[in-house]
Amino acid sequence: MTNSLLKSAYLASGCFWGTEYWFKRTKGIIATEVGYCGGTLEQPSYEEVSTGKTGHAETVKVDYNPQIISYKNILKLFFETHDPTQIDRQGPDIGTQYRSAIFYQDEDEKAIALDLIKILEATKLKVVTEISPFTKFWKAEDYHQSYYSKTGQIPYCHVYKKKF
């Protein structure tokens, strides 16, 4: 398989460590990187993003093989591993950098995201996930990459809960 067969998804659901934890354990996910999307500052640092003033969200870049896992199933996992009803927070992590967001790259991805939100809202969930066009991903510092793999810990605010 060549890299030209891979696709990427850009997802924010609170602390990027917990989001990455779940995707690293999923068949069809080839690689993950944590970083920042959705803000205005060029090449932001963790310290700058953590102020909540750059507009960035802690984001996971998910590289996947669409022959093994679909974008729709990636988004289902995204919604099932965080609470998409919390505004600018996830558990104890509070601030705009912890918002729930999908950064779509084309109209098909946007439509899939909106369809899944409709399904969740039909179950009476008030989904606040931001659906925004992807612009730029800034890779976070090395010490943030694969955090839970390095520490042997598990996420404190990302718990799997079946929703679909």
Mean pLDDT by 10 residues, the chain (164 residues): 80 94 96 97 96 97 98 98 96 95 98 98 97 97 86 85 94
Give the chain's domains with CATH numbers: 3-151 (3.30.1060.10)
Q: How far apart are CA 105 and CA 10, in angstroms?
A: 9
Residues identified as active-site: 15
Q: What is the 3 state secondary structure string of the chain?
A: CCHHHCEEEEEEECCHHHHHHHHHCCCCEEEEEEEEECCCCCCCCHHHHCCCCCCCEEEEEEEECCCCCCHHHHHHHHHHCCCCCCCCEECCEECHHHCEEEEECCHHHHHHHHHHHHHHHHCCCCCCCEEEECCCCEECCHHHCCHHHHHCCCCCCCCCCCCC
Looking at residue 3, its pLDDT comes to 63
